Structure 1
């Protein structure tokens, strides 16, 4: 996550998710930018905008590119693409250099790389969510008929069984899982608009060239969406739903484990520096904290919709700050949830 305090090692893996963080790493993201550039070069060669020989030289440069200095370029240009393109062209003659990036723009590269990154993140999230729903199913099978007091407004209400509460945990997660394909479909659109979003190069094969790039990358081709940030905001909304539903589970468990209520017993738990008898529900508490964090970030991400004119620098940078952090926080919450549910030793009271 972008919080150096959380990722310094002081808190271990409590507030971070190395697997999701790797998806947004410089290496992984550069590889996806290079995948766009390679697909673009291939299409320029396929439709005769450059010669086959020049396209092959450019592809060789793309394949062997070293990304070590992109950060320095970003410090100057505000993003890594100009340095990437300059680096790719630096070893090529004039003809082969024309086979790199001609007709594309930085936003085409960045947005498409972000799409590919988000799709990979969604695959990991849905795999975890699938496992969690299965674990809740197993918990229902094991303990669903056990007795428990239902509570409204944190006060004892009426006798019920465990299934009432666990169903309320499981159902929204299953709904979010069902929605994931819609989010992936929204994301799965290549960004090809050129300098001002008019998609004019290479003539006369603009549509064919763009279509080939989309197909090569496993994406769909639609209208240019430079100033329409709906796709990434939709993913953020999905992450907020998932994290929020996990936070509800965490909040319930933190209340259920209290002495005097004792609706649940967990293996493990965190110790206290001052009170040796305590067994704190750390995972449950972190699920609440992470859910609140993700919800707050969605408010920021939504402001990226205000993407002025044909391209925004400020709104664009806001996406880079918020969406990766939201994804990592949601991923961490899913990991805590899996660990929490599998640590349940007793839930409710046998009838």
Structure 2
């Protein structure tokens, strides 16, 4: 039995993706540490701290597949130390001369922090690709349905007409900003961390800053101004960006769930024979994929709080919060990756019930465009007076179950200035979608790549 749904043989693809599981596998974590030691050895050799030959051998031997995982795992239990068993395992692969220079001048957190940053960078590369694909899927939907009138809803009630493409374009624009935010901030939070025992670089004497800078350059990471052992704002920033992007996916899933309600039934997450909504009610076509997506998003958002908690650190090192990052950050990426993948599936398989959209648009028998009638009448009697007149007529139509046009035609306050042909034209919802089509085009132009 798996200890987590992320690793469950039954459910792992609902709570993670294969590609992301590879990024956060045990081998990948060890390889990230090895990469850090290689980068450090090269930086130290360049600055005359260790022999060039030692750095070359360290680089040649730094392969995770050669590490004895059982030895490292048992070493963790014996030493209660997160890195020492790995140092010993790596040292055994090298000659005594080269092995003696592994981890030279470093502290455990230098390697584990920077190794984690390398993994997060790989994870974000995957997430960005997934989000770009999803963005283009949503843009396709926005273009396809940019002129399809739909009931706009505010406070869960019909408001004024929109288009379905406008709704999709709002999602797309938000996804674009999510991507933009991730791409912009990565140069801030993907920084190397190297400072030695208490972050002062004292172990390298006058070579400390130069080694640190070359260490970061060798890994393609940003160079920090000062050691960030107890400054966890970068990781809080990362987790916040991930949580914001996940919340966009959650908003999309929740909207689809609501639009798939039996009473609305305008959009459906997708259905094919074989998909089962209930073990007892054969008729059910539940939005179960979107519900799974939203569950994942909740997990992401909940974990993001730990990023803020971990910012409160004691003195120059505080392992109590530091090690939570190994858990919550990887879980955020794993679960979010699954959520994006499922949302891409939903966008591929989505069913749009255009007949139901038209039915719902006309459900209030013209009341959905009462604003237009009010504004047109306001040209003759003033906006506030027109609001009072149309308010009374709209409420009468609603309360008595009368067609809005019939009430308007019976009101001399309206017909003395507006004739029947004009009223019929104004009550066509398709003629009152404002700038929806233009805004869809603007979103597509901005984000289409």
Give the shorter-chain TM-score range. Answer: over 0.9
Give the match for residue 352 of structure 2.
Answer: 346
Give the match for residue 285 of structure 1.
Answer: 291
Give the match for residue 106 of structure 2.
Answer: 104
Give the match for residue 231 of structure 1.
Answer: 234
* Contact 1:227 1:312 survives alignment (8 Å): yes
Give the Cα separation in 2 of the matches to 1:45 and 1:246: 47
Cα deviation code 1:3-44 (max 9, x no counterpart):
624532333522222221221111111111101101111222
Give the Cα separation in 1 of the matches to 2:61 and 2:348: 49
Q: Does 1:11 align with 2:17?
A: no
Change (3 A) 1:303 1:261: same
Give the match for residue 273 of structure 1.
Answer: 279
Give the Cα separation in 2 of the matches to 1:88 and 1:70: 10
Which residues of 2 match residues 1-351 of structure 1 at below 5 A?
Answer: 4-5=4-5, 7-11=7-11, 13-63=13-63, 65-68=66-69, 69-90=71-92, 95-222=97-224, 223-268=226-271, 269-346=275-352, 348=354, 349=357
* Contact 2:268 2:287 survives alignment (8 Å): no
Give the Cα separation in 1 of the matches to 2:44 and 2:97: 12
Change (3 A) 1:12 1:44: closer
Cα deviation code 1:300-328 (max 9, x no counterpart):
23211112111111101111121111111
Give the Cα separation in 2 of the matches to 1:49 and 1:98: 13
- Mark the runs of 5 or more structure 2 residues left unpaired by the alignment: 359-429, 431-449
Change (3 A) 1:168 1:321: same
Give the Cα separation in 2 of the matches to 1:296 and 1:188: 22
Max radius of gyration: which structure?
A: 2
Cα deviation code 1:270-323 (max 9, x no counterpart):
432111111111221112111112111111232111121111111011111211
Cα deviation code 1:217-252 (max 9, x no counterpart):
111222211000111111110111111111111011
What SS does the aligned partner of 2:310 have? helix
Change (3 A) 1:5 1:188: closer
What SS does the aligned partner of 2:40 have? helix
- Mark the runs of 5 or more structure 1 residues left unpaired by the alignment: none
What SS does the aligned partner of 2:227 have? coil
TM-score normalised by length of structure 2: 0.73
TM-score normalised by length of structure 1: 0.92
Change (3 A) 1:45 1:291: same
Greater fraction of residues in helix: 2
Give the Cα separation in 2 of the matches to 1:205 and 1:40: 12
Give the Cα separation in 2 of the matches to 1:51 and 1:97: 12
Q: Once superposed, which parts of structure 1, at least 4 consecutive aligned residues long, lie more than 3 Å away? A: 53-65, 76-80, 90-95, 347-351
- Relative to structure 2, which stretch is displaced further, 35-44 or 83-92? 83-92
Give the Cα separation in 2 of the matches to 1:13 and 1:94: 44
Change (3 A) 1:347 1:120: farther
Give the Cα separation in 1 of the matches to 2:292 and 2:302: 15
| Aligned positions, number | 350
Give the match for residue 400 of structure 2.
Answer: none
* Contact 1:16 1:332 survives alignment (8 Å): yes
Change (3 A) 1:265 1:90: closer
What SS does the aligned partner of 2:159 have? strand
- Relative to structure 2, which stretch is displaced further, 324-333 or 147-156? 147-156
* Contact 1:58 1:96 survives alignment (8 Å): yes
Give the Cα separation in 2 of the matches to 1:275 and 1:228: 53
